[in-house]
Each structure stands twice: as C-alpha cells, then as structure tokens.
Chain A
Amino acid sequence: MKAVLHLKNIGGLLEGKFDFYSDKLNIIESANSGGKTSTVKALVGVLSIPPNGTLSEEIFDEAQKLGIKTDPRNPYEGFVNVHADKGSVELDFNQLKENYLVKQNGEILVAPKNGDERFLLTGILSNNSRVLRQLRGLDTRESDDFKWAVDDLSYAKKYSQIIELLKTEKEDLSYTSELINNALRQLEPLKKEEATILEKINIVDEEIIVLNDEISVTKEDSEKRKKLEKRINELVNNIQIYTVLLNQKLKEENANENRIKDKEGLLKQNKYELKEMQDKLNKLKQRENRKKIIDDEINKLIAQRNNIDGLLNLYVVAESSMKDRKNEIICPLCNEGHINHQKVTKEINKYRLERNNVNTNIIDFNQEKQNYILELSETEEAINEIKEEISNINTELIVLNNTNKPKQDEIKSIRTNIDRDNKNLKIEKDNLKVLNKNYSSNNEEVKEKYEQKKNQRDSLNEKLGSVRQQISSLSTIDLYNNIIKPEIAKKISEEILNIIIDRINYLEKRANEEREQAAKKFNDNINELMDDLGFTEFKTIKLSGSPSYRLYVERYDPTKKDYKSQDVGTLSTSEKLAIALILQIALKETYMKNLPFLILDDVLEGFDLERHKRVIEYLEKKVKQEDRFIIATRLVENLNTPRVVYL
C-alpha cells in the first residue's frame, strides 16, 4: 500500500508532498526546524481530528502538547504557518482521501471524515506523548498511574460519562423526593390547624351573634349587622379560596410553559439535525456519478476476468492432456511451437493470481458501491425519521399551546373574581362601620367585647388564609413539569429513583468489564511485544488490575543476579524510552489496530546502540509481516527540506 501526504502552509512548510509505503520503514529526515515535525503534526492531525472538528476536553490538552492545536500561551508554535491564513492537509491511502483545512486561529474549516481523537494517545510516540511524559515524570499523573489507558480509550470512559449524568439526575430527583417528603410531613399538622381555626371561627361567630343583639338599638339594626357580617365572612372566605386556586393555576401555567420551552428546544435540535442530514444527502448525491464509474469499472473487470478465464481454461485443458504427450504439447495459444509442463503450470498460476486480483477489485468496487447505497438509504431513512419527529413535536406544541390559552383565560377570570370580591369586601366593611356608629350607648363593656371578638375574628381569618396558602403550595408538586399531588409524586419519584440506581449499577458493572478487558488485551499485547523486541532486561511489564491500574515492572538486577520489581520513576532514560515504545505500540494494537499508521517522532535516536538495533529490526520485520505504515523521523544536519527515505 502507498499513502500520499500533501501539505500546504503547515508549520514551517509552505508546501510538501510525501510518499509512504506500508511494506517499508519510512524515515522522514531533515535538520532541526527543517519540517519533519510539521509533517508529523499534519499526519497526526488528519488522522485524529474528529469529523465534527471538535476534540473532547480531555484530549484537547494532548493536541496542544503535540502541536496540532494552537496553544494560546504560545501561538507561534501553532499548527498553521504563521505567515498564512490557513493550512491544508490531504492524505490519500487505501482508496480513502482525507482532507483537513484549518485557519491560523485554529478554527477548522474542513475536518477529516474518519479522524479518531484516540490516535493522539495511541498512534504517536514523541517526547510530548503522554506515555513518555508520564514515565519521565513530566505529567500531572504519577509515573505508574495508567488508569487512563484502560479508561479514557475504551468504552469505560463513555460508561463513566453516562453514569455521572445519571448521578446528577439522581441527585436532582433525590432533592425533589426530599421536598415531597417534607410536604407530606407538613401537610398533616397544617390540615389539623385549619380545622382548629375553623372551629374557633365558628365559636367566635356564635359569640358575635349574641353580642350583636346586645349592642343593637333595634332588632332591625341587629339583623342588618348580622347580614353584613355574614356577607363579609363569605367574601373573605371566597378571596382565600380564589387565591389558592390562582396559585395552583399559575403553577400549572408555568409547568405548561416549561413543557413548551422543552418542546421548542427539541424542535430546534431536530431541525438542526435535519439540516445536517440533508447536507449529507446532498453531498452523497453529488457522488452519484461515482456509482456509474464503479459500474463501468466492474463491467470492465468482469470482461477482463472472462478473458482470463478463457486463457486459464486453455492452459488447464492443456495441462490435463499433457500426461499422454510426454510433458510437451503444442502451445494452446498460438498453436505453434511446443510448450513444456513447467511453463503450463507457471501460466496457470499466473492467470489464477491475476483472476484473484481482478476478483478482489470487483469485490472492493462492489463493497464501495454497497457502502454508498447503504449510506444513502440510511441518510434518507434518518431524514424521514427526523421529519416524523418534527411533525410529532409540532402536533404536541399545538396541543400544549391550546391548553395554555384556556388556562390563561381561567387565570384572568380568577383574578377578576378576586378584584370584584375585594371591592365588595371594602364596601361591606364600610357599611358595617356606618352601622356601628349607631351603637347603643348603654353598655360600654359589651361594645368593647364586641370589638374584641371582631378583631379576634379578623385575626383568625388572617391565620386561616396563611394556613390555606401553605396547604395549597404543599398540595401540588412539580415533577418534571407535571403538577401532581405529593402522594403520587412520592410513588413516581421512588420508582424512577430505583430505576436510575439500577441503571447506574449496571453501567458501573459494564465500565469495569470494559476496563478489565482492555487491561487484559493491553497486557497480552505487551507480552507479545516483549518477545518480539527481545528486551530481556525486563521480565514483566504489565498493568495491575482494578481499580488502580498501576504499571508494574520487573527488571534484571545485576547485583542480585535476579529480576525484581522496580519503581518506574527510578529507571534510566533509555529504559523508560524502551518501556514507552512497548506501551505505545501496545496501546495502538489494543485500540486502533485497524488504522495502519504508527508514528515515532524524534525518539529512535534516544535508544542506546543495542536497543536501537533491536527496535529497527523489529520495525522492519513488522512492516514486512503486516500491511502498515510505520513512520519515524531522523535528524539530518543541513537538510532544510524534509525528505522520506525507506528502509
């Protein structure tokens, strides 16, 4: 396989084109600041920037350290040439064409289609890679703390992310449950207090009736007063009931408005997704002519295969007839001259190989066509699903808006009633005042008692109003924009809390399984690499198990003539580099085996001579055995333009 990297305005390079081969060791050479690191940065960028152009928060720091994202503290070490507005990277390999276009300020104009940010942690070993930084004690993590290697790169990270989100929801719901329980605890005594106040009001009302007769000049006067007092009590009661009702309706209206806001948010999100999908569909349709090209290519290849089959058939028939003709026959193609068995077998093998190659090409083209058709139909299906979702949300919004209108009317009507009753209350109270001017003047003591009882009645009314307000606010709970009774809210919140706890437990179990699997695969890969690299000075390099995932190293101790465990931080520089190389390749094999790129930037020269020889032998063997691009850099003094040499 061949890969071609084409750069414009990246780092120190104005333009560069580099060929890499998967069966050779590719060495990029240049002097310091000659462009080899810029080439590496470009390659790493195009392989790691995700399709949406956004790196996750944890990885962003790595991208800055590796120089493929501009570090705000050091913009002149940025990815794009400081003299250019934007830089571009193109990588062609294995029928894939990846593009990456970035502005000088770091804004990504075109992101690669298949970039995977994990490549930043797995695919490159340089002095700024996390593995080496950590072993050298230059990272915030301790030298042997490799939990990230099983956490951040496997699905465990995603499980943990969802666990955290569910825990936040659980906390919110627990808080609501606490409010519900408080409400239920407070409601019972409040209801008792309401009943007690009502009882007291009845007694006071009875007493006022008796006192009314005593203070009234005429019977008619007394009846009038009683009527007014009854009316005032009715109005006070009505106002209290209307106020409670108003608060409840306002709560419902608020919940309804929140529901509308949620739906509108969802609608916006769906419309955005629809636009993205439609853009994707348009881009796919622009590639429709590729389908025609593929069909033509397939037809050509089928014709080629038929032709090969014809020739193959002639030689196969010739081979079968050879037994009778003492190993030599007339050439089946030209029908002139003789041909021996060795030549016939060679031709058969040649045509069989050609046939296989043609078949592989047909399969590849068919696969590309199928992938295209599948992607097209999946995109169309997604568009239909989003459109249906949008239509459902619109219907729900209509229903919600329709319920909102009568609610607003109801609120308006309750407010009107409260205003009306307040007005009437004032009038009736004034009327009573006028009437009370005509007290019988005989008994000052009774008059005083009457006034006292009336004040008591007013204060009981006030108390009743306040208790009723409290009961009203505690009698309904807002549970995810549903205004419901606390008894029902309690049942539902307990049910949902149990479900969330169950799901958190499940996800934690899955995250642990993922970590354990990743650690096992990682350790297996390390063992295999240690055998292949022949670093016999180490007996064991492995990650310990859950939950700490520390790096454990057993190294040969010449004084004791035996292997013993050694703190990673105390190893020599060259030993750390050897371990870093093993860990880096093991990470790559564990997580990104199918992406055929491994980059070693400025690290090979750090090995001592013996290890350097072993590493080069290993890498050369690896590229011959497996189809992958291994790209290393090498310092060559006075070489100001980078070049690639092949080993």
Chain B
Amino acid sequence: MDKLSIKFLEELVTNKKLTNQQLQSLIKQEIKQTVDESLRSKTK
C-alpha cells in the first residue's frame, strides 16, 4: 500500500465538493488505515 499517497492528497485538492469536515475525516481515516497496515506488517 502506498501510505498516505501523493495521488490521494492530490485528489483531495482537486475535489471541489468536499467540506473541511469531510477532508478532515478522510485524512484521519487514511492515517488510521496506514497505522493498521503498518501494524499488520510488523506483527505478521
């Protein structure tokens, strides 16, 4: 998985429909997924 990828962030920039709250929630979610993924790889 490309963690908190540039592509993901660029998509957030160009998405005109997202409110600040939605942006925040998407970023939090992405970081959480990155943490979960990292944890999985370390406890395999």
A336 CB contacts on chain B under 8 angstroms: none
Q: How far is the CA of A500 from the CA of B34 in the complex (A)?
A: 11
Residue A202 is within 8 A (CB to CB) of chain B in the complex: no
Q: How far apart are the CA atoms of A500 and B6 in the complex, in Å?
A: 11
In the complex, which residues of chain A have a beta carbon less than 8 angstroms from the beta carbon of B29? 262, 266
Nearest neighbor of B19 in chain A, beta-carbon distance:
A54
Give chain A nearest CB distance to B26 CB in angstroms.
9
Knowing A169-B27, A269-B25, A482-B36, the reply to whether A488 touches B9 (Cβ < 8 A) is no
Q: Is the CB of B12 within 8 A of A480?
A: no
Find chain B residues with CB under 8 A from A506 CB: 6, 9
Whether a CB of chain B sits under 8 angstroms from the CB of A495 is: yes
Which residues of the other chain, B, contact A500 by a CB distance below 8 angstroms? 4, 31
Contact assessment for B36 and A480 in the assembled complex, using a CB-CB cutoff below 8 Å: yes
A161 to chain B: which residues have CB within 8 Å?
20, 23
Contacts A481-B32, A499-B34 hold; do A507 and B42 have CB atoms under 8 A apart?
A: no
Q: Mark B1-44, 1 if CB is under 8 A from A, else 0.
A: 00110100100111011011011110111011011101100110
Q: Please determine whether A492 and B39 come into contact, CB atoms closer than 8 angstroms.
A: yes
What is the CA–CA distance of A46 and B16 in the complex, to the nearest angstrom?
18
CA distance A418 to B14 in the complex (A): 57
A510-B14 Cα distance, complex, nearest whole Å: 13
Q: Are A496 and B34 in contact (CB under 8 A)?
A: yes
Find chain B residues with CB under 8 A from A287 CB. Answer: none
Q: Is the CB of B17 within 8 A of A52?
A: yes
CB-CB < 8 A to B35: which residues of A? 479-480, 482, 492, 496
A169–B31 touching, CB < 8 Å = yes
Docked-complex contact A499 and B9, CB < 8 angstroms: no
B14 touching A155, Cβ below 8 Å = yes
Q: Is A484 an interface residue (CB 8 A)?
A: yes
For the complex, what is the distance from the CA of A571 to the CA of B31, rounded to whole Å?
51
For the complex, what is the distance from the CA of A173 to the CA of B23, rounded to whole Å? 18
Complex CA distance for A104 and B42, rounded to whole angstroms? 59
CA distance A488 to B36 in the complex (A): 12
- Of B14, B22, B28, B31, the most chain A CB neighbours within 10 A belong to B31
- In terms of DSSP, what is the predominant structure of the interface of chain B? helix
* A50–B9 CA distance with the chains assembled, in angstroms: 23
> Could you tell me if B31 and A488 are in contact, using CB atoms closer than 8 angstroms?
no
Q: Are A491 and B42 in contact (CB under 8 A)?
A: yes
CA distance A482 to B33 in the complex (A): 11
A158 to B29, CA, bound (A): 19
Main SS of the interface on chain A?
A: helix
Contact check, B13 vs A166: say whether CB atoms are below 8 A apart. Answer: no
Residues B13 and A499 in contact, CB atoms below 8 Å apart: no
Distance of B25 from chain A, by nearest CB (Å): 7
- Chain A 40-71 interface residues, beta-carbon cutoff 8 Å to B: 50-52, 54
User: Which chain A residue lies CB-closest to B23?
Assistant: A165
A20 interface residue (CB < 8 Å to B): no
Contacts of B22 in A (CB 8 A): 269
One of A54, A166, A484, A495 near B27 (C-beta < 8 A): A166
Among residues 156 to 185 in chain A, which have CB atoms less than 8 Å away from a CB atom of chain B? 158-159, 161-162, 165-166, 168-169, 173
Is A292's CB within 8 Å of the partner chain B? no
Determine whether the beta carbon of A503 is less than 8 Å from that of B32: no
Closest to A266 in B: B29
Smallest CB-CB separation from B10: which chain A residue? A510
* Assembled-state Cα–Cα distance A169/B33 (Å): 14
State how many angstroms separate the Cβ of B32 from the closest Cβ of chain A: 5
In the assembled complex, which residues on chain B have CB atoms less than 8 Å from the CB atom of A162? Answer: 9, 12-13, 23, 27
Interfacial chain B residues near A496, Cβ < 8 Å: 3, 31, 34-35, 38
Query: How far is the CB of B4 from the nearest CB of chain A, in Å?
Result: 5
- What separation, in Å, do the CA atoms of A488 and B13 have in the docked complex? 33
Report B-chain residues with C-beta under 8 Å of the C-beta of A499. Answer: 3-4, 34
Please give me the residue from chain B that is nearest to A511 by CB atom.
B13
Interface string of A605-617 (1 = CB under 8 A from B): 0000000000000
A435-485 residues with Cβ-Cβ distance < 8 A to B are 479-482, 484
**Looking across the interface, which residue of chain A has its beta carbon closest to that of B28?**
A169
Residues of B within 8 A of A480 (CB): 31-32, 35-36
Q: Which of A487-503 contact B (CB under 8 A)?
A: 488, 491-492, 495-496, 499-500, 503
State in angstroms the CA–CA spacing of A173 and B12 once bound together: 21
- Which A residues are CB-close (under 8 A) to B39? 479, 482, 484, 488, 492
CB <8 Å contact, A165 and B9: no
Taking CB atoms, residues of chain A closer than 8 Å to B23 are 161-162, 165
18 pairs of residues in contact across A and B, judged by CB atoms under 8 Å: A54-B19, A162-B27, A165-B20, A168-B24, A169-B27, A169-B28, A169-B31, A266-B29, A479-B39, A480-B35, A482-B39, A484-B39, A492-B38, A492-B42, A496-B35, A496-B38, A500-B4, A500-B31
What is A's interface to B at a CB cutoff of 8 Å?
50-52, 54, 155, 158-159, 161-162, 165-166, 168-169, 173, 262, 265-266, 269, 479-482, 484, 488, 491-492, 495-496, 499-500, 503, 506-507, 510
